Amino acid sequence: TAFGLLPPYLNKPLMDQVLAPKGPGRPLEDRLKLLGILVLVLALSRVLMSALSAAQGWLSAWLGNRITHDIRSRLYHHLQYLSLSFYDRRQLGTVISRINQDTGQLQQFLVWGVQDLVVNFLLIVGIGVMLFWMNWRLALWVLLPAPFIAFLAHSFWWRLRLYIQRFFHRWGRLNAFLSETLSGLKIVRAFAQEPREISRFRQRSWELALTGVQVERAWAVAFSGISLLIMLGTILVWYVGGRQVLFGRMTLGTLMAFLMYVGMFYGPMRALSWLVNWSSRSLAAAERVFEVLDTRPDVRDADDAVPMPRIEGRIEFRDVTFGYEKNKPVLKDINLKIEPGEMIGLVGHSGAGKTTTVNLICRFYDVDSGEILIDGVPLHKIRLQDLRRQIGIVPQDTFLFSGTIAENISYAKPEATREEIIRAAKIANAHDFILRKPDGYDTVIGEGGQGLSSGEKQRIAIARAVLHNPRILILDEATSQVDVETERQIQEAIARLVEGRTTIAIAHRLSTLKNADRLVVLKEGKIVEVGTHDELLEKKGEFHRLVQMYREVSQVRAVVR
């Protein structure tokens, strides 16, 4: 900033003492020498200013990117620990847009916006001092448009902020739409709905475009008004300064230097008006980012949470009621005791509350009333890390990460040896099909397990749980995606695996639960029957009715085949 203020000032002696001196002036030789000195000083100031500007740009870029990295990392860290209920209420695409788009908008402002703000503010102050030092009366005319410029920028700032908030909201909706439709592309094509989805995308994209036009139109009006005021201010200085030169109250060199400072003075003001647009975008992005950061997880460690390095596996439900929405309970007054090493089968229609029951054991959600105890300790008083490290789960919807098959099997135990991975795969009946892959255990699979069949993905998920070696094992439709022969082999492996572990199994194929120590029958969120497979059949109650329905469906399937 200091070096930038020097060239206009050098213009005064250059005009008054070298190029257009009043009266006889200095000898030509002295003027030539002074010209050389002034040009040399000017050149040096430009070189130093360029070097400092490069250093300033590098430092700003480093600081801005470092701060953005910290914000993005903190945001992702926070998202990892937010409760599942947070994601239940939001589309995944809108969450991703906050990590990528919003932090990117902040990055631009931190790298360039803050730098421009500081530099232009210092320029305005420095130039203002020079203007008042050279001619304070004329300087007052320079400041005449400043209040009007500030008022105009402030007035449009609030309108811009409203439009930009709407713009980011619609951008998030568009990202969510893309994430959803591209993930479900097979379904779109299976039902020949490409034209419909293209139309829906164009509608959302057009809404975003219209909002973008509103933003740019509001800014164009504001910027045009500011530019007009700056131009009028410059014309006013030319007129008043020109009169002073004509009447001999100011030299031509002083006026030229003054006018150069005026141009430099209004330049930063114009740049600061650009920052109104930039800061509005960044503020809207910051609000969206910090909205997430300020969200506290519903499920978190209690202040008096206790470590439990080893769980025996005793589980007890005491009058548990839970619902994903208020006043809409999914489970009602559940009372159940599960002993260590016992295998429990959860049975019931879809929506009866089976998966919700195991979600509560994992403490993905907190109960609305009642309590769940593990080894006699209330679930909310056990440290989450200790609890989940000792629970293994094979979910109904198998999810695999991009990477090798070995990396997916060892996801819960990254330090596992290749021998341990192979042993787990053999137990899950996955070893043989893995060896048939091009690179065996080092075969790279795509996102969500692309390149694998449903049954293969299911068996890798089972191997992952086996390697985890949990004290509590949850099988949520663990054999739903395999054929009958493979299911038989997996059931034999699971029978060996569950020894000494508490196991909760869910299965639509009721025959797969014959080996369970007890079956718990759920209906409309309540436990209606508890007993062994044979005991419940003899009762001829709800379980008997479910078995009869299952047999009828199996017979129909056999006929169709």
Query: Is residue 180 classed as helix, strand or coil in its secondary structure?
Result: helix
Which position has the token pair 């029978």? 495
Helix (H) or strand (E) holding 175: helix 146-183
For residue 243, pLDDT beyond 80: yes
Query: Is residue 348 classed as helix, strand or coil in its secondary structure?
Result: coil
Average pLDDT over residues 55-80: 81
Q: Residue 558: which pLDDT band, with cuts at 50, 70 and 90?
A: very low
pLDDT score of 277: 64
Q: Residue 140: which pLDDT band, with cuts at 50, 70 and 90?
A: confident
pLDDT score of 94: 77
Higher pLDDT, 155 or 441: 441
Q: What is this structure's pTM?
A: 0.70
Average pLDDT over residues 13-28: 65
In Å, the largest CA–CA distance within the chain is: 127
CA dihedral 190, 194, 195, 201 (to 10 degrees): 140
- The structure tokens listed for 97 are 């847009």
Q: Residue 518: which pLDDT band, with cuts at 50, 70 and 90?
A: very high
pLDDT score of 379: 92
d(CA 146, CA 150): 6
Average pLDDT over residues 34-43: 76
Nearest CA-CA partner of 481 in 397, 392, 357: 397
For residue 29, pLDDT beyond 60: yes
Average pLDDT over residues 241-269: 77
* CA 365-370-373 angle, 5° bins: 75
**CATH assignment, 391-469:** 3.40.50.300
- Contacts of residue 12, Cβ cutoff 8 Å, sequence gap at least 6: 251, 253, 254, 256, 257
The radius of gyration of the chain from alpha carbons, rounded to an integer in Å, stands at 36
pLDDT score of 486: 64
Helix (H) or strand (E) holding 377: strand 377-378
Q: Residue 369: which pLDDT band, with cuts at 50, 70 and 90?
A: very high
* CA 36-37-42 angle, 5° bins: 100
- The structure tokens listed for 128 are 């203002």
Helix (H) or strand (E) holding 73: helix 28-81
- Contacts of residue 115, Cβ cutoff 8 Å, sequence gap at least 6: 56, 57, 60
Q: Residue 560: which pLDDT band, with cuts at 50, 70 and 90?
A: very low
Q: One-letter amino acid identity for 6? A: L
Superfamily of domain 2-293 in the CATH hierarchy: ABC transporter type 1, transmembrane domain (1.20.1560.10)
Q: Residue 219: which pLDDT band, with cuts at 50, 70 and 90?
A: confident
Return mean pLDDT, the chain: 81
Task: Give strand pairing partners of 382.
Answer: 306
CATH number (3.40.50.300, 3.40.50.150, 3.40.50.10490, 1.10.10.10) of 306-390+475-486+501-561 reads 3.40.50.300
Of the listed ranges 222-236, 356-370, 377-391, 435-449, the one predicted with least confidence: 222-236
Is the torsion defined by CA of 135, 138, 144, 145 positive or negative?
negative
Q: Residue 496: which pLDDT band, with cuts at 50, 70 and 90?
A: low
d(CA 371, CA 267): 66
Q: Where are the domains of the chain?
A: 2-293, 306-390+475-486+501-561, 391-469
Same topology for domains 2-293 and 391-469, yes or no?
A: no
Dump pLDDT digits (tens) for 376-416. 999 989 998 899 889 988 887 788 888 899 999 998 889 99
Helix (H) or strand (E) holding 322: strand 315-322
- The structure tokens listed for 107 are 């990055």
